[in-house]
Amino acid sequence: MGSARRHGIKNIKDSPTRVEAAKKTFEDMGAKVKDFYLVMGMDRYDTMFIVEAPDDETVAQASLKVSSSRNVHTDTHRAFSQDEFQKIVSRL
């Protein structure tokens, strides 16, 4: 277990406060946190935010800000809705 994860688990009772601070950071930068999850079975991550933003740059900036100011590591994935998926496939 890396030092960042040991530090995070040592302060686990502070996690709800850190989640709220991260949500505020996203919102202050123009993104909306739609959902938050504690996840199991993942080697690298313990939590997941579902975020909606006007563009990918907003998510990137907010993720970088959260990562730089807290004991977290981020991994960002662009998700497409079912409608978006159908449009993409229809153009093949």
Q: Output the pTM of the full model.
A: 0.74
Helix axes 15-28, 56-69, angle to 10 degrees: 140
> What's the number of domains the chain is made of?
1
Question: 33: which 2 tokens?
Answer: 């946190």
The residue segments making up the domain with residue 11 are 3-90
Question: 80: which 2 tokens?
Answer: 């497409």
CA pair distance 68, 52, nearest whole angstrom: 20
- Per-residue model confidence as pLDDT tens digits over 1-54: 444 555 557 777 888 988 999 999 999 999 999 999 998 876 677 888 999 999
Torsion of CA 8, 32, 61, 1, to 10 degrees: 20
- Per-residue model confidence as pLDDT tens digits over 48-87: 899 999 999 999 999 999 888 766 778 888 899 999 999 9
The pLDDT, as a whole number, for residue 67 is 87
